[in-house]
Amino acid sequence: MAQPPDDYELLRQRMPNLPDISIDNPEPVFHNVEADVIYNTGGSVKLASPILQKYWADFLSTGRFGSWYGAAGWFQALSDGERKLEGKWLGFEHLDLRDYPALDPTQVSPEIMLTAQSVLATEEQERLRHLAYQFDLLMGDPQNEEDLEFWRRYLQDKVTLYRDHLASLAVLSISRAGQLASALEFLAAPATGSPAQQVQRLAGRLIEEPPGNFRVDGPFLEVLFQVIANRSDDDPRGTARLLLDSPFTLEDIVLAQPGATAAIFRSDIASASALVRGSDSLLALPWRIMYRLIKAGPALGAQLSAEFHRRGETKLVAESLGYLVYDKDR
């Protein structure tokens, strides 16, 4: 990198700007020269460093570009949309061309863009296909710490792919494809409304489809249950019906927001009864839910008990009272 300027100065200028490079860490240079040679040169052997061309001669072709200045001039002549497309398959977008405002471009057939667009569309659709078929393998152990920044970038990439190829997941036969398409459609939708309305929209969707990782769910649920409580102030009956389709544990909602839960249940006794009866017996039996509700609102608990008794569900009523009897000393 101490060489005087020559025909490969544009390539040489790129090297010091590689991420994490330093005198003590030249590894990014070695990786770039080896792993990114096609991306850097567009497959043109004459754009490889002269000292390395003999090593790449059997791998790279003559290609479309004979010099770096001609290649950079071609890049400068592209429209903004063409540059965005080019950046997906050529590394010229990383070149610092501020000192080269008007280079003579290499003349390249316009078909290069059509070919690139077709190849990239195929590759991007294949990435969505891999997402669907390998999604379960991507899910790590929920007890392990996750790199949330990595997953944020990964998700943003997949949302962009979905926007560009809306039908790609729809043609796949596996059920996971439909689930992913639904989630990506939601994430790809334009953000409309006030911030509060956007939060409500997101909360409603996450009630339907929680992440499933307790490290994510824990702090999220605390906020979500508060959103449910706030929503119940304006529409308790609608919130009750929304909870009917929620996979979240009803007991957690009662414990986190007892007052709001009581208000929701009082607004629609039929929905409240259905919620209690439908409680996941592996996580919280219906009579355990009744026990929590009675402690949150004794009058509501008595009203629900009377409703269950009226419907002939005497076991549920008896078991609920049994919980209270067992707990009387506490």
Q: What is the pLDDT of residues 55-78, one digit of tens each?
A: 888 888 888 888 889 988 898 888
pLDDT-wise least confident of 42-51, 136-145, 296-305: 136-145
In tens, the pLDDT along 173-207 reads 888 898 899 889 988 888 787 776 776 777 667 67
Tokens found for residue 187: 């994430």
Q: What is the pLDDT of residue 141?
A: 57
Q: What is the pLDDT of residue 162?
A: 93
- Whether 125 shows a pLDDT value over 90: the answer reads yes
What do you get for the CA distance between the two ends of the chain, in Å? 77
- Per the prediction, the chain carries an average pLDDT of 81
Helix (H, G, I), strand (E, B) or coil at 189: coil
Q: What is the pLDDT of residue 163?
A: 93
- Whether 237 shows a pLDDT value over 80: the answer reads yes
Higher pLDDT, 72 or 141: 72
Q: What is the pLDDT of residue 212?
A: 55
Comparing CA positions, the residue from 256, 264, 266 lying closest to residue 233 is 264
Residue 101 exposed, middle or buried by CB count within 10 Å (0-12, 13-18, 19+) = exposed
Q: What is the pLDDT of residue 215?
A: 56
CA-based torsion, 308, 312, 314, 316: positive or negative: negative
Tokens found for residue 156: 């943003």
Q: What is the pLDDT of residue 115?
A: 83
For 177-184, the CB contacts below 8 A with 24+ separation are: 177/132, 180/131, 180/132, 180/135, 183/209, 184/158, 184/159
In tens, the pLDDT along 283-315 reads 678 878 888 887 777 887 788 888 888 888 888
Q: What is the pLDDT of residue 122?
A: 92
In the predicted model, what is the mean pLDDT of residues 92-112? 84
pTM for this entry: 0.53
Helix (H, G, I), strand (E, B) or coil at 109: coil
